[in-house]
Structure formats: structure tokens, C-alpha cells
Structure 1
Amino acid sequence: MIKKLSLISLFTLLPASFYFAQTTVYAYVKDQQGKPVESAEIDLGQSTESVKADKIGYFQFVDLKPGHYLITVSKQSFDQKIIEFDVTSSEKRKDLGVVSLVPSTSMGAGVMVIDDSSSDSDEGGSSMQPTVGLLSAGRDTFQNVSAFELGAYWFRPRGVENRYEEVLFNGVSMSKNDDGKVDFSNWGGLNDVTRYPFESVDNITPSEYAFGNLGGVVYYNTRASSYRKQTSLAYSYTNRSYFHRAMATYSSGLSKNGWAFTFSGSRRWADEGVIDGTYQDSYAYFGAIEKQFSSRHAINFTAFGSPTYRASNSPNTQETYDLMGKDYNSYWGWQDGEKRNSRIRKVFEPMFMITDYLKLGKTSNWNNTLSYQFGRDGRSRLDWFHAADPNPTYYRKLPGYGILTEDEFKAQSQIDWESLYQANYNNRYNMDGTDHGAVYTIVDDVNKDKTINFVSHFDTKLQENWKLNLNFGYQNLKSDNFREVKDLLGASYANNLNAFGSDQPYDLDNSTTQVGVGDRTQYSYDLLRNQYSFNASTEIDFAKWNVTASVFTSYAESQRDGKFRHHNFADSKGKSEVFNALDAGIKGRVLYKINGKNFIVYNGAFFSLAPTLNEIFISPRVTNMITPNVENQIINSNDLSYVIRGQVLKLRLSGYYTTINNATEISRYYADITSGSGDGGNALIAEVLSGINKTYKGLELGAEIKITPTLSATAVGSYGDYRISNNPNVKTFDDDYGVRDWGTAKLKDYKIAGTPQKAYSFGLRYNSTKFWWIGATANYLQDQYLDFSALNKTEVMYTDPATGDNYAGATPEAIAQITAQKKFDDQFMLNANAGKSFLMGKYRMGISLSVNNILNNRNYVTGGFEQGRAVNFPEAFADAQRDKPWFGPKLWYDRGTTYFANVYLRF
């Protein structure tokens, strides 16, 4: 069937003779075998109507005015395809050729939730609860199942951390300079406008818009006219990190005078989450306004943000979980009949950008984006001054220590807010009548970034089968970091004095040591960074071969500017020396087309990666000192795949091998090095691992089989081996001793933590021709390891500082026993999903439900870290023999059965 569309002109500045020009645009929809795809739906982004392909796959649009267009081609059982094209005034007919559709791999209920609440924790240890960056849902079977099914259990494909992923909005990178990670909370809740990336490449596959990293590239184009003209309303009910979500989106399409608007807003909230004492209230907004001046020129303004208020949950020792259950959270307590959490993250970092789209000649495009992001990210915590640790799970308060019974611990297992207020009152009105200030306060660790980005993308066709892409980027960052008094808990002021440093002022240049709510305390400094980057890529397509190559270089200057003069470090105030980093790299992809359904694909990458700001400065809260031996990481990655893209069978089998060399990792915790008469210098330390080498190798299999036209099965397997491949150097830094070198840590062959290294999934899905579906997957996860502390893997662990000899009993067997890396049990998880869509005239409605961990398995440890406190053999060995270790590992457990129900209405 052919349906005419009446479209509004995209031009207001053209002469009248051009204004009424008409063009017919047509194409054929076929599958990969060249067979016509009948009744495919083709949506024109600038209109509310659509056309359908006829029996031979043919469709057309008539009476199109000159301008830039985007169409979306959809067909049940196929992946969507988005095509952009331009219509000029001189064209009467425009042939888009053959639109080739790929069989669908979608197994999810169409809803993917990224739970980023884990990133709020700042407990000590070298690894926090992992944040899952699910960037590639819906690409191939393996990536789709990894995102929707295995990703719910913190599985990371190829072991790659969030830091090695790349997300771009109009070319602007969303990675943070402090740790290199992508903070998904910056656009959380904006699912409608980020559902379909403009480009999404997996792993080390070259991208058109950036050099990328190990974890792929996702590129979002927020051009207002690229969104389909419609209104969408949605409501979701879930028991994950929030309970409710409401979302509304409106896209105007392109008006006759060249304007287009897209707006979206949402709210996510829960008075209390699944974990005790957690709550959330998060909003999100998005706006894009485009003005098209001609068929060759348009400007788009984008603004988005996600103000979020969220309470955190604590990691706990196994003893604590055994006493209190898996939903226990030590961060909260009762105050005036309500639960009050001490660990609150309040973040709002809005982004504003303006993009200029320019078409040059017939085959070239030049897009430029200027962006500005600012805001505040604050994370609160309890602080104390010459007082006892208020943490109810402090090791001396646990029954295993022997002071409190189990019943006594349970009776005081939450923060006693009343006692904290009373302690401040007693300190204010003491016997000598002098106000000594607060002993307990709530403080905020605040990060206020101001980031300016300019990115430029140029692409052209040198020949019909040869494309060239050029990308340039500049970034300027000023990051203001400080601790701020948030709540005095009834006191009149707090003391900006170091209780562990003979009560010396944290800022020697400030005569006032009394601070109130909103005042800075303990530390204040800026981090400054300027970065320039350039990337060029080219793709050549032959009859049997497709070859892509990409190169890049970047240069960065990083500096610290201290605002407080610390009593132990003369260099703590003022600017540090500039740390310069030069990066370069190359990527390549070679695809061999055996035939129309069988392919062999090789990807290779070799590049360097500059250290992050957190790695460059060893302890930025107190000193300008640059981390000793910090270097650029050297990354070498290769993979080889065999791919089948057929109507019945869709399969990818890949083998990969990646090395990361010269990495630096810094973690902070209290180390108890002293034992007996020896003085090893107990302190709150920054542990620096330098020169770490890691290897990641394994196999991936993703297969989808069409058993019948409506019933399909998927099978996914990931067999990985991720480990440390050398014995890196360990240094520590603390306020009293400065930098100390402890030699090498025996870490070779320790496993990379934070993800199951092996995972398998099998699923069945029924797609009815009546537009409903139901599916289920069985998932098995293996080889999840506890993250480790490195200092207790050095000689300091078993060397008596009083004699210089080994401690008595420190045999190789005993040392191996207490330093062995813990491996968690294998786990089985069952998921299911179902949904139905309805078409009622111009209204489209859909409902879906997904349920994870149906069997309510609460034994799965999603993350954890080894407490590094006991860094001496006598105490560590004694602790290992206890039934309830004082310093057992801190763990997070899976939340059990979770569900996500969603309903939407679009018109």
C-alpha cells in the first residue's frame, strides 16, 4: 500500500519558487538474503503518519519539500533501522536503494533499568559495588542478553569496567575526569529520548564519532527533528532502586517555518526501597529546540539534567547479615519517628549544548557542538571529633568481639540520632560553662564541576565506497572539591581541627577554626584540566571485504590548586606542577564476507590511556604531590569472530585477548601495621598500586534460533579469565609518614573482581502475531571473586618491625591461608518477561512486565571487598581462625526477586 504524506516545508529562507518544490523518495525493504520484506512500517520523523511497504518491499513518500529527513523502518522479528537523507530542490525523484533489515535479537521486555545507586558508597577498600554500564542492549544476541538478563546481576562483558566505556551526546563525552567513569545518573529517567542511540558499537569496534575505548561507543544525537512526531505518556511500578516512575515526552516534528521541539520529563521516587532506610526522589528533564535555515544548515539547542536525592545502603560483614538479614542497612536510624539516613547523595549537574549542522557539497557534513555543564554532587556522612565511632557495625560493637550479646547488638543496630544530639548538648554545656562545639556532625563531600566542551565532526565520501571521518575535541575543567558542614546536630559550631593531628588547624592560614552550616571544613582544593583530542577514521567497502581504520592522539594538562594550608604539607596550598599526558592509538576492523549470511570479523586496538585525576594526585585533600610512578596505561586488545546472520539462525562466536599494562590504582582505608612492640606506623592510608598488568581473555557465544516464525530460543555463553599478570609495586601515603615504599605485592594470578568471569544463559520467547509476547531465561553465573587489599600481600604482612625478621609462625602455608582470594559460590537465576501492545486508531498502548530472580535467590554476592586493616601476621592469622572475624570482608547481596511493570500511551 502506498500512502501519501502531506509534509510541512523545512525551509523558510528559500525563494518561493523553491518553497513549493516536490520530490518523491522511494526504496525497497529486503532481508539479508535479498527477499522482500512485506508490510514493513516506515515512520517519517517529521510526521505523525507512516507508510507500509508493499508485497515486493516497495515504499515511497511523495511531495517532500527540500530538507533533512530521518525515517525509521520497523518490522516484527527484525531490528529497527534508521536512515537519514537530504532532499534538494533540484531532485524530482530520489532513490534510497535497498534497505536491508537484520533479524531481531530482542529478548527483553523493552525496558532496561540501570541501577546506579551502588556508586553512592564510599566505604574503604579497593573496589566498591560495581556500577553496570549497559550500553549495547539490542545489538546482537550476546550483547542483548548481557544487558537485559546477565547485566541485572552485575555481569560485565569481557570484564570491562565502566571506566572503559564511552557515551557521547552530540559528540560530547560523558566520562568524568576524576575517575574516568560514565555517570549515568546525569540523564537517568530520560528513557524516551535515549532509547535508540544514533550509533552503538561494541567492544573495540571503530566508531565514526570517537576513537572509543575497550567497552564500545554509544552516540546520542539529540536533534529535535530526529524524534518522531508524537506524545508519549508512561508509568512504571518497580521494586528496584525506586518504586514509581512517571514520564511524559512530546515531539512536535518540523513546522513549516523550520522549527522543531522535543521535550521530556520524568520523576522516579520511593519513600523506602527494598533495602531498609533507603529512599529516593529523582526528577529529569530534556529539551531540544531546532531551527532549520535551509536544506544545508540547522542549529539545535539541547538542555537536560536529572536532579537526584537518594539514600545509600551499607556493605556489611557476613556476621552482620547473619544477625540482621540481607536487607539490613547500618546507615540509618530513627529520629522523631522517621527513618533518617546519614549517607545521602544529592546531585544535579545540568548540561547545555548547542550544535550546528552544516552540509558541504553533496557528500560532506560538518557538525560542531559547544557545551557547558556545571552543578553539584554532594555525598553526606557522619563525622566525629574526639568521640566514639557512631557506626553501629563498628567491629567492637559486633557480638563476635565479645562485649555485646546478639540481643544487645540488635537493640542498638541502627544509628542512635538522639544520643548524637545529646553528646553535642553535653559538650556545649559542660561543667566549665564553655561551649566546645560539636563532637558529631553531618558533613557533605562536595564536587562542583564546571566543564566546557567543544567538539567538531566532519565526514565525507571520498568515493561511493570510501568514507572519511574527522573528530576534534577540546575540554576545559575546573573541579571544586571540598568538605562542607551540613548539619551541626544541635551544636552551635564545629571545629576545623585535626583530632588525629594534635588538634592542629586544617587551614593554618585561617585564624577562625569554628565553622557552621555551609562552611568549608577539613579540605578544599580545585582540580584543573585542559584536554585536546583528534581522531580520524576511514572505511572502505569492497565486494568481499570491509576495512575500517581509526587513529587518535590527545594531550592533557592536569593541575591541583589547594585552598587550605595543611599543617603537615607546605605544598598543600597553591598550584601544583602541571602533569602532562600524551596519548595515541590505532584501531582496525577487517570484515570478510564469505557470503550474504556468513562473515569473519577481526578487530584490533593498540593505544595508551592517560591517568585520571584521582590517579595523578596521591592525596589531593592534603597535598599537591603527584603519585609516584604514575604512567599512561598501555592497552592492547584483539578479537576474532565468526558471524552468521540468517533467517533461522543468528550466531556470533568470538575469541578475545586484552592486556592492560602500567595501570595505577589507589584505595583508602585504615591499616593496622603495628603488632607487639614494633611500631609499623598505623594510619589512615592511601594505598597506591603502580605498574599493574592485567590480562582479559575468553570466548563469547551468542545464538538465536527461530524454531517457528513465532517461537525463538537464545543461547549465550561467556567463558572469561581476567587476572593480574604481575607483582606490582605498593606504596602508601598518610598525613604523618608521607610516602612509604613497601616493595612488591604478590598479586600475580589474583582474579579481577566485580563481575562473574563466566556466565551462561538460555531463553525462550514467543512472539504472537497478535502483538504480545512472553519469554523466560535461565542464567548461571560462575567465578565471582572478592576484591583484595594489596598491602597485606607484601612483606610487611609477615615481617616484625621490631626485629626485621618474620613473625613466629609466619610459614608460607600460613601466609597463603590468610592471603588467599575468596571465590564466591556459583549461582542460578531465573527471569521472565511478558508484554502486549494495542493499536487504537492513532493511539498506541503497550504494557510489559519483567521479573528477575524469580526464585528469590539471596545468596548471590554482587560485590565486596577485603578489609585491609590487619596488615600484620599475628592479628591477621588470629582473625582468620575466628568463627566470626572482626575484620571480615564487606559484602553486598542481590536484592532478591525484583519486578518492573510498565504501561505507555503514544499518539
Structure 2
Amino acid sequence: MIKKYLLFFVFLPFIQLFAQEETTFFGFVIDAKTQAPIENVVVSIQNSSLTQLTSANGRFELHSPIKGEQLLLIHSQGYKDLLLKLESNFGFKVNLGILQLEDNFSDETPAALITLLDSDLTDDNSSSEMTSGLLQSSKDAFMQASAFNWGQARFRVRGLDSENGTMMLNGMVMNKLYDGRPQWNNWGGLNNVLRNQEFSVGTAPSTYTFGGILGAQQIFTRASMYRKGGQLTFSGSNTSYTWRAIGTYASGMNASGWAYAVSAGKRWSDEGFFEGTNFKAESLFISVEKKLNAKQALNFTGFYTPNSRGKNSANTDEVTQLTNEKYNSYWGFQNGEKRNARIKKVEEPLLMLNHYFKIDEKTNLNSSVIYQFGKVGNSNIDYQKTDSPDPTYYRKLTSYFTSLYTKDQGEFSGAFTPDYENAEKSKISFLENYQIDWSAMYRANQKQIPNSEQNSFDFEPTQSRYVLYEDRTDDKTFAVSSNLNSQLTQNIFFDGGATFRNLKSHNFQYLLDLLGGESFEDIDPFYKGNQSQSDLQHPNRKVKDGDIYGYNYNFLGNTIDAFTQFRFAYKKTDFYLAQSYSVSNYQREGLYQNGIYSTTSLGKSQKVNFENFGFKGGFTYKISGRQSLFFNGEHLTRAPSIRNTFSNSRLNNSIVDGIESENISSAEGNYVYHSPKLKMRFTTYYTLIKNSTKTSFFYAEGIFDNGAGYDATDAFVSQTLTHLDKKNVGAELSFEYQISSTLKSTLAAAYGNYTFNSNPNVLITNDANAVKVDKQTTFDFGKAYIKNYKQAGMPQQAYSFGLEYRDPKFWWIGANINYLSESYIDISPIARTAQFYINPANGFPFPEATKERGDALLKQEKFNPITLLNFSGGKSWRVHGKYIGLFSSVNNALNSIYKTGGFEQARNANFRALNQDVSSGTPSFGPKYYYGYGRTYFVNLTIGL
């Protein structure tokens, strides 16, 4: 006993010293309405690894070794975040008392609107849908406007698409290797279980990843983080879907260390806002956590969200004037029901296992293993030796007869001979048959057999001329990652991580429906002999429903990336430094021996390797408790996506000549002011992206110089741009003022100037020339003179002003007016090359091609400004301890008609053809446009169980 007391007195000074080196904060968290304690609320010290969950009685206790001023964040799903400024006094216990969390209904309900933008997504997922994530963690008025008010006009934050942001799930990067972008449909309909998020904007630091110049979005699905209880959600809308139902339940952590969360939902519509755009989607989600001991836990996450949606066509002004802005050429009636020929289907289940290891009070190690598989299909109609079934095919329209030019023996004479009689007949015919004629295709795929008994005809299947097929991608992705966060000293924090990803992507053409026929010939009818064969190893194949044909190959890809980050936090200043390193390799494996490229299509290509680095840093100066200045900068190199690495992957193993990693630089400066009544942020930014590569495909007329010996002046070609630079400069303003306890005003503004900053090289590949081994297939068209042209696809300026009234009796209403401008059409680079002015008949410039007329023809079209008036409101109740919330909104209340995007058709590939087409007044190959939603509504009912 004497020894024990002696040891106690020996170590007492050290125990007292240790106790003085930390401050203990404790308190209780309760629901502001019910006054009931809330379990499993996340309580953390910002910019540190100190985190704790509240107990069953809502109590928490944090031991902070950080000296001076610090921020305590209290976060729970379904509640507004509570941020407290604390002062640390070592050796003291600070009782924070009872902390009340207010219901987050007004914030969570609009999150359901994310999926309403699904039909706006282009097939390449380039939309900056990262803004949808911003609303989850940011109360910033600018981010709210970006997600809810400007998103319907395809606004992109800082003019950047989603490949410039990093999307993460429990520490794992979800951007696809194929195109660098997330596949948003993978988690559609899971809104209720994906609300636990963190978001870093721009080049700000993230504790989970190095991140891109658009930011990083991290979603958490750890079962113990969900608030215990259930929720039912019912929604109605007239946008991409009509009805939606979601059920969610979370168990909370039980005494045995188990927790789970489940969710199931369904969205559907026979027709969305645009004609023929049917929608069907289900969603299933499960997260199960097992607490192994006080320091370790395992969590399994799995979800499956099969969905399909009918696409909407882009139309020329001619077609829109004959129909309306909702017109969609992709559908037609079959047996009295609308059938869309272009359906996008996504079925990619995901399985994920996470290990959470709290090494000590200052260090956490989180590791992940993920396996994702499934398919993405885009359907279309294939046809052979017959006319196009597209009702807007240019030969079926009036403009074909009013803009005819003479083209004899490949010579573009410029003679103009309008045929008004046939033009009128064409107009009448189109108005009578302006949708796909499914019945006609079925008849074409069958032959008539006389039936003498009934004095009529029967039909029996024959070789199909029309079929419905799918461009399929079946991916298998395996990835592992690990992320370490540690507080090294009182003021220094370390974040680091590494990820390995492996992809096998099977790409092929899949026959869905013979449309009444008995088989389909697996050839390319534009070629003859061996060159027409899709696979020389199996020539003249007859394919049926469920068969692969046309093209068939694998993409193989591996990436390893790692990052380290050091953050320094002091009373008046914070700063950070981060580094990244990555290695990528890609390969194509041809499964068919294509008849055009018999020696370069089968087997594995050369492996393409890229090694890349990144550096970023930032500095924050805290002027006072209400004001701060911060600056961030980033420079990195980035491997091109698999999509842009191979020039014609459907047919051969060719790699883009001179392919390089992109060079990206970005910098931003911010001023932030926060007070109880006023919240303001002003940001300026500069971004330069260099050495981008972009590949596209189209049919062009008058593209080659027949006089120089090429086989034909017209061709279906692939176009690859290299050394394409983009410059994005602009400013953002977020302003929020609490006029009174119930009335709040918001103002958001985005001013940008997004341009091309180089004249990229243009490479054109003509497959037709490959049929002769001595012929050149890839042609260098020199530079496309597009420097200072505007980047397309989004408004470059946007402004929003809103008012919101919140009544103490838990109802609210808001309205905002939005003005968006400076949106431009997507230009055709080949029309900006020197070759555009060359007559393909003789190789000499067109004599009538003056600079003035060329500038007029090639002037980039700017769309009209857009004004959108939106209303929203809601009410919540407590009935027998249960929560009921109602939310509704009306967007574009004035029913404005506006273009959200469009592109120049590249078919007129020389001056004379384009000049004559435009001069006719009714161009056959005028630009095609996408239109935004008119007046739309959304109603949402939430019941908390």
C-alpha cells in the first residue's frame, strides 16, 4: 500500500500537468420542438480529428488539446448545423448546457429537387451537377442559387464541368475512369440517405482528397451517423418524373454495437415535361455497421438504383417552328402507346466495405474496398439499305428543297435552285408524319403472303431492315483506398491518402429488338467485300435479339493516386499545403477483327501511361471574429480520360497522336463577413486548363480535296482536337441579410468570362480511306482558329434576388427572381480551319470567300437572356410526437421559353456549302437547340416516424 501511495504522489504532478493541457467541453443536445434528447449527433472541433457521437440521453464530452479560439460543430441529419465559437482554457471543464437543434425541413426538402435535373443531363454527364451537392452542406446564398434557381438553365459553377470536381463516397473517388465524371444516375432516388455530406468549394482544402479545381464532395453512409427513426416521402412533379415515393429507416447504434439504415424508393412517369420522355427508376439502399471495439468499426454499404429515361431531341429552328419547343423526334405511337427509340438505362449496383479505426484521440484511419458492376445502355434505331426513320431527317424537311445546291461530280458550283413546289409537299408530309412510324418499320421487316381463303395478305418475318439496338457499356470496377487524419501538434494537422482503381469496361453494340424481322446482317452497308465486315473471323453473320454485333472491345485501365496535406491553424491565421501524385495506364483490347482495320482492330493496343503531379496551398487571415480573407491556389497535371485517349475506339486500337496530360492552374481570393444579421462572401477566381483533348464524330460534306486525290469529298469522320486551352475568369457574390426575425433577403451574382485560350490542332480520321492500304486515314487540318470564342453550354452571368418569410408557427414562403445571360452555342471547330475556305473540287480557295462574309458566317451565336421567377413554401407540424412536413414550389412561374444550349452542325464543312445553306433562309443543317423547362411544379410530403 505504501508503494501505491508513493507512486501516486510521484506521478501526481504529471497527471495535473496533463490535465492542464486540455479543455473539456460537455453538454446535451435536444430537439428544439420536442425537447427530446437526440442520439448519435456528430459533435466535432473543426479543423481537427476530434469527434464524438452523443449518447442516448444526448450528452457529449470532448477533450480538446487545442489552445485558443476554436469552432464546435454539431451536426445531425434532419437538423440545421449548430456552430459555436469557443475559447479554450486548459485544465477547465466548460459546461455548454442544453443545445437545441432546429428542424432542417426547409433545407432538406429542396434537396429532393436534385433528381429533377436528370433529364437536363447530357449523355456525357458533363453538367456541373456538383452544385447539387453544394446545398447539402452550405448555407451560402450563392450555392443555394446555383443549385436551385440557376440549375434549370444549366448553370455551371465557375464554368467548369463535373470532371473538375471530385465526387467521393466514404472516402472513395466515384469519378469514372472513362470520362472523369461521376455517373449521377448511380445514386438517383437516394436523397434521404445521402444527406450527410461535406463539400469543399474551389481549391479549398479537403481532409479526404487532393480534390479538383471545382471542389470535392464527400458523402457519408456510415450507419451510426443516421438519426434513429423512419421517414416516408411522397412527391409529385411535372418535370422528369410525375410521382415519387421513398421510405427510410435507421436503427441507431444498439447495445450490441450494431446499427443499420435502409431505404427504398420509386420514381416514374409515362411522360415528363417534354413529349415522349418516359421515366422509370427504383432505388434500394442498405448500410450496416458493427462496432468491433472502442476504436474500430466495420460498415457495409450497398445500393442498387436501376433507372431508364426517354431522351429528348435537339431541334433546328425550322423543326421547332413547325411544331413547338416541347417537340421530341425520338418517339412514335406503337399500338396506341408512345414508344421512345432512345432510352438511357443505367444499372450499376455498388458494394462497399469501410473500416474505421480511431488509433488515438488525435488520429483516425479510414479504409475502403469497393466493387461496382453493371451496365449502361443507350438505345437507337439501326437500318440498312433503306431510308432513315428519323422524321426530322434533312431530306424529309422543307429546307431540303429550298436550299438545294448543285453538286455535279464532286464540284461545288454554288448554283442555287430552290424547289418551292416540293418544299410545300414536304411540309404537308412532315406535319402529317412528324413522329417515328413504328408500324412502317415492322411492315418493312416482313413480306406479304397472299391468303386465298380470306382474300387478303398475311405477313411473315424476313431479314430486318430496321432494328432497335443499344450502345452498351458493361463496367467492372474494383478499388481500394485508405485515408489518414491526424493532429500532429497543437496547431498542425495532417491528412493523407492513397487509392488504387482497376477498370474493365466491355463496350459493344447489342441488338434489342428485330422489330418483327427474323435476323439482321452484321455488316456496314457503306462498304463492300471484306471492308463491310464487323468481324472478319465471323463474316456475314446473321444476328438476332440478344446478340452482340457491330463493334466489340474492352477498355482496361488502372490508376494509383496519393496525396498529403498539412494544415496549420493559429489564432489569426490558417494556411495549408498539399501535394498529389498519380499514375494511370490505359489499354484497348479489340474483340472483333474489323474489315476496315484488319491489322489494327483485334487484340490489345499499346499501353498508354501517364504520370502526374499536383500542388496546392492556401492562406486565411482572420481580420476579426466576423471578417476573414483567404486565398487558395492550385496547379496540377491530369491524365486525359480513356474516352479521349483513343481516336476511334469502336473500330481500332489507334491512340491520339501527341496525346498529353492536361495542365491546370487555378487561383481564388475571398472576403467573408459573418454577423448575426449579415452573411456575405465575395470571391474572384482565375482558371487556366491547357492541353485538353476532345474527340467527336460527324458526317461532313465537302471536307476533302478531290483534286488532291482523295476518294470522295464527303465522309463520316472522327475529329480530334489537341492542345485545346480554356480560360475561366470571374467573380461571385453571396449576400444574405436578416431584415427581421421572420424576413430574410438574399442576393447572389456570378460574373464570368469563359473562353477558349488557344487555337487547337484538328486531326480528321476518314475510315473510308483505310480500305486501301496505301491511303492515308488521318489528316492534319492544321489549327482551328477559335481562340477567344466563348465556351458553350451554360450562362456566363447569373443574378438572383430573393425574399423569404418564416413564421414562428412553422410555415414559410419564399420568392426569387433570376436573370441569366451570356450563353453561347457550341461551335464547329472544323469550320474554323483554313481548309474551310478550300474548294474540295480543285484544292484552291473559293473566289467568293471574303473575310467579311466568313466572319459573318462563323460568328458565334449568343442566346437571349433568361428571366426566371420561382416560388416556394412549406409548413411543418408535430402530431403525437411525429413530424409532418409539406413543401411545394413553382419554377419559371412566368412560363418563359428559352434555349439552354445547342450546337452547330458540322455537315457543311466548306465555305460555299455553308454560305449557300445560310443564304437560303431555311438552312438544312442549321444549328440544333435544347430548350429549358417551362412552368413546372413540385410538391413533397414528408412524414417522420
Where does residue 432 of structure 2 map in the other structure? 411
Cα distance, 1:852–1:634 mapped onto 2, change above 3 Å: same
Distance 1:74 1:574, change over 3 A: closer
Going from structure 1 to structure 2, the CA distance change for 1:734 and 1:76 (only over 3 Å counts) comes to closer
1:521 to 539, 549, 574: 549
- 8 Å contact 1:129–1:892 — kept in the other structure? no
Q: In the TM superposition, what is the alpha-carbon distance from 1:400 to its structure 2 partner?
A: 2.2
Question: 2:241 & 2:525 partners in 1: Cα distance?
Answer: 39
User: Hey, what's the Cα distance between the residues in 1 that align with 2:102 and 2:565?
Assistant: 25
Preserved contact between residue 121 and residue 313 of structure 1 (Cα < 8 Å): no
Distance 1:485 1:203, change over 3 A: same
Report how far residue 511 of structure 1 moved.
3.8
Which structure's residues are more often helix, by fraction?
2
> How far, CA to CA, are the matches of 1:381 and 1:131 in structure 2?
26
Residues 1:397 and 1:64: Cα distance change in structure 2 (over 3 Å): closer
Q: Residue in 1 aligned with 2:929? A: 891
Aligned AA (1:787): D
1:725: which partner in 2? 757
Larger radius of gyration: 2
Shift of 1:121: 5.9
Q: What CA distance in whole angstroms lies between the structure 1 residues aligned with 2:497 and 2:504? A: 24
Q: Compared with structure 1, are the counterparts of its residues 383 and 73 closer, same or farther at alpha carbon in structure 2 (3 Å cutoff)?
A: closer
> Contact 2:26/2:61 (CA < 8 Å) preserved in 1?
no
Q: Deviations over 1:662-700 (max 9, x none)?
A: 011111111112599756632111111110111100111
Q: Secondary structure at the match of 2:322?
A: helix
Taking the TM superposition and a 5 Å limit, the aligned residue runs for 1:860-875 are 860-875=898-913
Asked if the contact 1:477–1:530 (Cα under 8 Å) also holds between the matched residues in 2, the reply is yes
Distance (Å, rounded) in 1 between the aligned partners of 2:543 and 2:120: 29
Query: Do the aligned partners of 1:852 and 1:897 also contact (CA within 8 Å) in 2?
Result: yes
Q: What is the SS of the residue equivalent to 2:445?
A: helix
Are 1:80 and 1:101, in contact at CA under 8 Å, matched by a contact in 2?
yes
Moved more, 557-566 or 69-78: 69-78
- Contact 2:759–2:784 (8 Å) recurs in 1: yes
Assess if the C-alpha contact under 8 Å between 2:171 and 2:208 holds in 1: yes
Structure 2 partner of 1:466: 492
Cα deviation, 1:793-820, whole Å, max 9, x if unaligned, reads 1011111133332112111111111111
Q: Indicate yes or no: 2:914 matched with 1:876.
A: yes
Q: Give, in whole Å, the separation in 2 of the partners of 1:102 and 1:583.
A: 46
**1:265-305 Cα shifts (integer Å, max 9, x gaps):** 11000011121111111001110011101110110010012
SS of 2:144's equivalent in the other structure is helix
Residue 642 of structure 1 is matched in structure 2 by 671
Quick check: 1:442 aligned with 2:478? no
Matched letter for residue 908 of structure 2: A
Give the aligned partner of residue 452 of structure 1: 478
d(CA) in 2 for partners of 1:581, 1:99: 52
SS in structure 2 opposite 1:498?
Answer: coil
Q: Secondary structure at the match of 2:443?
A: helix
Q: Does 1:152 align with 2:152?
A: yes
Indicate the residue corresponding to 1:114 in structure 2. 115
- Counting only pairs closer than 5 Å after superposition, residues 171-182 of structure 1 correspond to structure 2 as 171-182=171-182
Aligned residue identity for 1:684: F
SS state of the match for residue 334, structure 1? Answer: strand
Aligned position for 1:577: 606
What secondary structure sits across from 1:800 in the alignment?
A: coil
Q: After the TM superposition, which of the residue ranges 472-481 and 832-841 deviates more from structure 2?
A: 832-841
**2:871 is equivalent to residue 835 of structure 1:** no
Residue aligning to 1:665: 694
Please say if residues 670 and 868 of structure 1, whose CA atoms lie closer than 8 Å, have aligned partners that are also in contact: yes
User: How many residues in Structure 1 have an aligned counterpart in Structure 2?
Assistant: 852
Aligned-pair distance for 1:195?
2.0
Aligned to 2:743: 711
Under a length normalisation based on structure 1, what TM-score does the superposition of the two structures give? 0.89
Separation in 2, partners of 1:863, 1:251: 42
Give the Cα separation in 2 of the matches to 1:645 and 1:166: 28
1:422 & 1:842 partners in 2: Cα distance? 63
**Letter matched to residue 629 of structure 1:** G
The one-letter code of the counterpart of 2:537 is: D
Task: Give the corresponding residue for 1:357.
Answer: 356
Equivalent positions of 1:623-634 (< 5 A) are 623-634=652-663
Q: Is 2:783 the partner of 1:744?
A: yes
Alpha-carbon offset, residue 132 of structure 1: 3.4
Q: CA deviation at 1:316?
A: 0.6
Residues 1:656 and 2:685 are matched in the alignment:
yes
Match of 1:779 among 806, 809, 818: 818
Deviation for aligned residue 1:582 = 0.9
* CA deviation vs aligned residue, 1:312-345 (integer Å, no higher than 9, x gap): 1111111111111011110011111111110111
The CA deviation string for residues 405-444 of structure 1, in whole angstroms up to 9 with x for no partner, is: 4332111111111111111114999xxx999722111111
Partner residue in 2 for 1:165:
165
Q: CA deviation at 1:346?
A: 1.6
1:560 aligned onto 2:588: yes
Alignment match, 1:614: 643
Q: Shift of residue 102 of structure 1?
A: 13
Q: Which residue of 2 aligns with 1:3?
A: none
Tell me the distance in 2 between the aligned counterparts of 1:338 and 1:635. 50
The one-letter amino acid of 1:416's match is D
CA distance in 1, matches of 2:102, 2:796: 30
Q: Which residue of 2 aligns with 1:394?
A: 393
1:497 maps onto 2:497 in alignment: no
TM-score, normalised to structure 2, is 0.85
The worse-fitting range, judged by mean Cα deviation, of 519-528 and 680-689 is 680-689
CA contact 1:45–1:72 (8 Å) conserved in 2? no
In the alignment, the residues of structure 2 paired with residue 660 and residue 758 of structure 1 have an alpha-carbon distance, to the nearest angstrom, of: 20
Aligned residues of 1:778 and 1:828 also touching (Cα < 8 A) = yes
Residues 514 and 121 from structure 1, CA distance in 2 versus in 1: closer, same or farther, beyond 3 angstroms? farther
Find the aligned partners of 2:842 and 2:637 in 1 and give their Cα distance. 44
Paired residues of 1:761 and 1:777 also in contact (CA < 8 A): yes
Give CA-to-partner distance per residue, 1:460-513, whole Å, 9 cap, x none: 111132211111100010000000111111111111111112152110011451
Corresponding residue SS for 1:294: coil
Q: Find the counterpart in structure 2 of residue 32 from structure 1.
A: none
- The structure-2 alpha-carbon separation of the partners of 1:63 and 1:861, relative to structure 1 and needing over 3 Å to count, comes to closer
Determine the structure 2 residue equivalent to 1:34.
none
1:397 Cα offset (Å): 0.8
Structure 1 CA distance for aligned equivalents of residues 253 and 748 of structure 2: 42
1:618–1:80 Cα change, 3 Å: farther
C-alpha distance in structure 1 between counterparts of 2:97 and 2:721, whole Å? 56
* Residue in structure 2 matched with residue 594 of structure 1 by the alignment: 623
CA distance in 1 between counterparts of 2:836 and 2:846 reads: 9
Closer/same/farther in 2, CA of residues 47 and 435 from structure 1, 3 Å limit: closer
Q: CA shift at 1:40, angstroms?
A: 11
Where structure 1 has 5 or more consecutive residues not aligned to the other structure, the ranges are 1-23, 30-36, 49-58, 84-90
2:222 alignment partner AA: R
The corresponding residue for 2:286 is 287
Secondary structure at the aligned position of 1:791 is classed as helix
| 1:245-265: CA deviation from partner (whole Å, max 9, x where unpaired) | 100000000111111010011
Which shows bigger deviation, 269-278 or 137-146?
A: 137-146
| 2-structure distance, mates of 1:294, 1:379 | 47
| Structure 2 letter corresponding to 1:186 | N
- What SS does structure 2 have at the residue aligned with 1:856? coil
Task: Between 142-151 and 439-448, report the one with greater CA deviation.
Answer: 142-151
Unaligned runs of 5+ in 2: 1-23, 43-52, 64-71, 86-90, 402-421, 451-458, 770-776
Following superposition of structure 1 onto structure 2, how do residues 744-823 of structure 1 map, counting pairs within 5 Å? 744-823=783-862
User: Which of 132, 135, 151 is the equivalent residue of 2:133?
Assistant: 135
Asked if structure 2 preserves the Cα contact closer than 8 Å seen for 1:43 and 1:73, the reply is no
2:68 maps to none
Q: Which range moved further: 59-68 or 566-575?
A: 59-68
Change (3 A) 1:474 1:770: same
1:551 aligns with 2:585: no
Contact kept in structure 2, 1:67 and 1:296, CA below 8 Å:
no
Deviation at 1:572, TM superposition (A): 0.4
Question: Using the alignment, how far apart are the partners of 1:809 and 1:128 within structure 2?
Answer: 41
**Residue in 1 that maps onto 2:717:** 685
